[in-house]
Structure 1
Amino acid sequence: MTRLSRAAPLLALTAQAAIAQAGTVDPLPADGFIAGSRWSLLNRTVYDQRDYRHGARSNGARNALKPFVERNGYAEEWAYGLMGRFQSGFTAGTVGVGLDAHVHSAIKLDSGGGRAGKARLLGLDDDRRPNDEMTRAGAALKLRTGPSTLTYGEQRVKTPVFGSSDSRLLPETATGWLLDTAVTSDTRVLLGHFTESTDRNASSHGEGFVVNYSNAEQGDRLDFVGLVHGGDRLSASLFGSRYENTWTQHYLGLAYRHPLGDDRALAFALNGYRTTDTGQALSGRIDNTAWSLSSSYLSGPHRFTLGYQHVDGDTPFDYVTRGAIYLGNAAQLSDFNAPNERSWQLRYDVSMDGFGLPGLSFSAAYLRGHDIDGRDVDPSGGYAYLGYGTEGQHWERDLEASYVMQGGAAKGLMVSLRHSVHRGNTAQAELDADQLRLALEWPLGGAL
């Protein structure tokens, strides 16, 4: 399973995996600060090619260094990233003390300013040119007593209402504190307070929060509380969050797996969000309910999935950080989250392990959204600039092949190739695009 996605390899986060991952932290042994420490080093190379059809007629056109009338919709980037991570164990005593630290570096291999105005992998410098290189680092202090761990500082978080994405070259991080308490062996409570998030292609800290759709003034803090329960067949999570002076958001997730015998099973997943404006309502009026329901049939190496998603509200479903969307139809080029949008998905996954080719897998997904209606978007809010109309519709197709080396000196080496296509009419906000992405990564690590 590649790290370059929300859950499934380079495709949208499936709801079943979302429940299992909500609020996950890596377990660490309690045998001392040094003895319990471990390190990891992830080498990653990403080649990303996008052809934005009709991009020259849009403010989102690429090739930003050219005069507006000369811009086209072609973007191409190739970069190498190196992610080093240290996780200590905990000191002995009633309150154990530990430290996590990371360094993320990236180097541009090929990306001319005429081809990559957005610079999705490394970001832009002060002259609006793609960065040649970037490095950022951070650390977090950990305190553990009994079943509770408090982490303060820069860290990666995985929850449905605030989550660090790792879908491009470098991962997101967030600054604040997170309290994780194990109530029982399969039930946990999480409390979080964060004051900023660092985007995937950001070269520095202190830029506030990453908000995906609103262009309004940002809030200064985000707080959340969550309950996560994971069982053999039924998993559930419940979260509530408040993005200061912007919105309150509640999330419910349920996933159920029913074995049928003979290596067959049925799986169902429900993900739902309720978002309303609060305080100064910096992004304008928000009254949004978004939910998705998916069902899967598993037979040996095959998985067939049918999904439905519905957005009820006059604003798009929005979220803070790139990884805080667990809706089943959030795909590669679109989240299918426009005002009043309804969408469905058909997906097929196959693992070639059962055919004598361990480590090789393929997936294909088709999504279609319709009934987009943005006539009643708050004209003074953060979403009016998106220009939603009526009777908006669009579709997306995602194809992927991936292989993970199973043994030898290169064990864990992953190669994935993805091709995505998005098309829609002018009443929806996403650009037409063709995307080709090739990724290679090689993880190294172990105990000190």
Structure 2
Amino acid sequence: MNKNTSPRRLMAKVALVLMPASFSYASDQSDSAGFVNDSHLSLLSRNYYWHQTGDLGAQRDWTQGEMLDFTSGFTQGILGFGIDAFAYGAVKLDGSSNRTGSITLPFRDDGRPADSYGKAGGSIKARLSNTTLRYGDLQPQVPVFATGRFYQLNQTAVGWMLDSSDVEGATLSAGHFTSGTGYISTNRDGELGLAFAGVSTSQVDYVGGTYALSNQMSVSLYGARYKDLMDQYYTNLNYALSLSESQSLSLDFNLYRSLDSGQADAGSINVTAASFSAAFAAGPHTFAVALQRNDGDQPHDYAAIGSTRPGVAAGVYSDGLYLANAAELSDFNAPNEQSVQVRYELDMLSFGVPGLTLMAKHIRGYDIDGSHVGSDSAYFGLYGKSEKEWETNLSAQYVVQSGPAKELSTKFIQSWHSGDDSTGGDITQTRLIISYPLQIF
């Protein structure tokens, strides 16, 4: 979960869709400076404190993670070749067997938290003009299949991915994936599936793209097939209007359509989920509202990546959900659920503290009704009738603007959730994340 939906984040979403999952620093194969000269090595250090209490139990741990990423350039010529590689690892700074279960620290069969964990992998790539084909351990970022990047160690998925920007104003992409690693799993052949259905699939395929209609407006269309589980289609319209030097308006519309397919191993799926958000920025202040609706007797489901239990994908959430009200603790995507969000953001630059941003938002969901699901459905019994939930998130983030510690960021997130048992019940969560990106070369 952990979906970021501020106005600035909305524009970042468009950029993520327009951007290949691995960086290519030359804009075109004809600009390639070579395999070595265009190579880059970066290290992201992330210190992560997690504390959660409530109806889902108590979890608390503290970890230090390091993520080393190498991105080569492309060999010169009409067709360029390169490689990418990564090595990720984390160590436990604090944690106990009676507080395991977080998404930042795995635990062993005896119930004790791991002292350390890690994973490594790589991919090969080839580029012709502005079209790049990759195969290996990848981190796709599209609305129908997106690996998570917001916890301690990033998720990865194994397969191939094609990205092209040869058509002016458009970015096209396609992918085929067969396995992956979760946030706290280290086995690269973990299963893919649907997070809420808890059912695995042998492959996920997607195709789609984004087209910039103008400098202010873009449209995205994607389709994905979770073999023998679900076909999912997505469209997005994003519009950003500058009203003056200090005022702007951002509008964002997302629509998902999901249907069972193939052998329908998760049972019947017939869901339409949509959200609309509007954000008005005036100087350092941003005010936003968002409406979201899930029209269907099943929850709106999305990718699980990295399950280590054969055939079971429940709870291994990814970031493949681009709905406005997907928050820190709940996605507000239950059967027939409607939800509304109000949000306020403050940029402290105008008050003499550059790099400090504050955010507060509140979401209420109601009219949840999962009582019409058939007994042969993977979603049977997960939800009742006339259920509701609410969530409040507060966050503060400071990014060092200059000096030796430039780009060092500290983010504090405090969340409260309350609702019926199907939504998670009562939960209080505190997170503190300190990140430092270092460009080695």
Same topology, TM > 0.5: yes
- Aligned-partner Cα distance in 1 for 2:4–2:428: 22
Do 2:129 and 2:166's aligned partners in 1 also have CA atoms closer than 8 Å?
no
Q: 2:204 aligns with which of 200, 205, 222?
A: 222
Q: Deviations over 1:315-344 (max 9, x none)?
A: 100001411000000000000000000000
What is the deviation of 1:184? 3.0
Q: Does 1:292 align with 2:298?
A: no
Q: 2:167 aligns with which of 174, 179, 184?
A: 184
Q: 2:93 aligns with which of 79, 95, 109?
A: 109
- Aligned-partner Cα distance in 2 for 1:219–1:398: 34
Do 2:43 and 2:440's aligned partners in 1 also have CA atoms closer than 8 Å?
no
Q: Does 1:193 align with 2:172?
A: no
- Aligned-partner Cα distance in 2 for 1:122–1:158: 24
- Aligned-partner Cα distance in 2 for 1:122–1:186: 42
2:308 maps to none
Which residue identity lines up with residue 211 of structure 2 in the other structure? H
2:313 maps to none
- Aligned-partner Cα distance in 2 for 1:334–1:95: 45
What is the deviation of 1:23? 5.1
- Aligned-partner Cα distance in 2 for 1:143–1:42: 26
What is the deviation of 1:396? 0.1
Which residue identity lines up with residue 75 of structure 2 in the other structure? T
What is the deviation of 1:177? 0.6
Q: 1:432 aligns with which of 426, 435, 440?
A: 426
Q: Secondary structure at the match of 1:18?
A: helix
Where do residues 72-151 of structure 1 align in structure 2 (5 Å cutoff)?
73-116=57-100, 118-151=101-134
Do 1:180 and 1:188's aligned partners in 2 also have CA atoms closer than 8 Å?
yes
Q: Does 1:32 align with 2:34?
A: yes
Which residue identity lines up with residue 431 of structure 2 in the other structure? R
Do 1:160 and 1:326's aligned partners in 2 also have CA atoms closer than 8 Å?
yes
Do 1:123 and 1:202's aligned partners in 2 also have CA atoms closer than 8 Å?
yes
Where do residues 225-236 of structure 1 align in structure 2 (5 Å cutoff)?
225-230=207-212, 231-236=214-219
1:65 maps to none
- Aligned-partner Cα distance in 1 for 2:65–2:7: 22
TM-score, normalisation: structure 1: 0.90
2:328 maps to 332
Q: 2:407 aligns with which of 412, 417, 421?
A: 412
- Aligned-partner Cα distance in 1 for 2:193–2:10: 23
Q: Deviations over 1:233-258 (max 9, x none)?
A: 00111000100000000000111012
What is the deviation of 1:103? 0.5
Q: 1:317 aligns with which of 293, 300, 315?
A: 300
1:69 maps to none
Do 2:272 and 2:295's aligned partners in 1 also have CA atoms closer than 8 Å?
yes
Do 2:4 and 2:327's aligned partners in 1 also have CA atoms closer than 8 Å?
no
2:348 maps to 352
The number of aligned residues is 420
2:195 maps to 212
1:378 maps to 374
Do 1:88 and 1:98's aligned partners in 2 also have CA atoms closer than 8 Å?
yes
Q: Cα 1:285–1:252, aligned 2, differ >3 Å: closer, same or farther? A: same
Q: Cα 1:329–1:5, aligned 2, differ >3 Å: closer, same or farther? A: closer
- Aligned-partner Cα distance in 2 for 1:100–1:190: 19
Do 2:73 and 2:82's aligned partners in 1 also have CA atoms closer than 8 Å?
yes
Instruction: Specify every segment of 5 or more residues in structure 2 that has no aligned partner in the other structure, as ranges.
Output: 27-31, 305-317
Q: Deviations over 1:188-243 (max 9, x none)?
A: 11011111121111122212115321123x11001110121234200111000100
Which residue identity lines up with residue 76 of structure 1 in the other structure? R
- Aligned-partner Cα distance in 2 for 1:210–1:246: 8
What stretches of structure 1 move > 3 A for 4+ residues in a row?
A: 4-8, 11-17
- Aligned-partner Cα distance in 2 for 1:165–1:90: 27
Do 1:272 and 1:289's aligned partners in 2 also have CA atoms closer than 8 Å?
yes
Where do residues 35-74 of structure 1 align in structure 2 (5 Å cutoff)?
35-52=37-54, 55=55, 61=56, 73-74=57-58
- The root-mean-square deviation of aligned C-alpha atoms, in Å, is 1.7
Instruction: Specify every segment of 5 or more residues in structure 1 that has no aligned partner in the other structure, as ranges.
Output: 56-60, 62-72
Do 1:375 and 1:389's aligned partners in 2 also have CA atoms closer than 8 Å?
yes
Q: Percent identity?
A: 36
What is the deviation of 1:282? 1.0
Do 2:127 and 2:133's aligned partners in 1 also have CA atoms closer than 8 Å?
yes
Q: Does 1:168 align with 2:165?
A: no
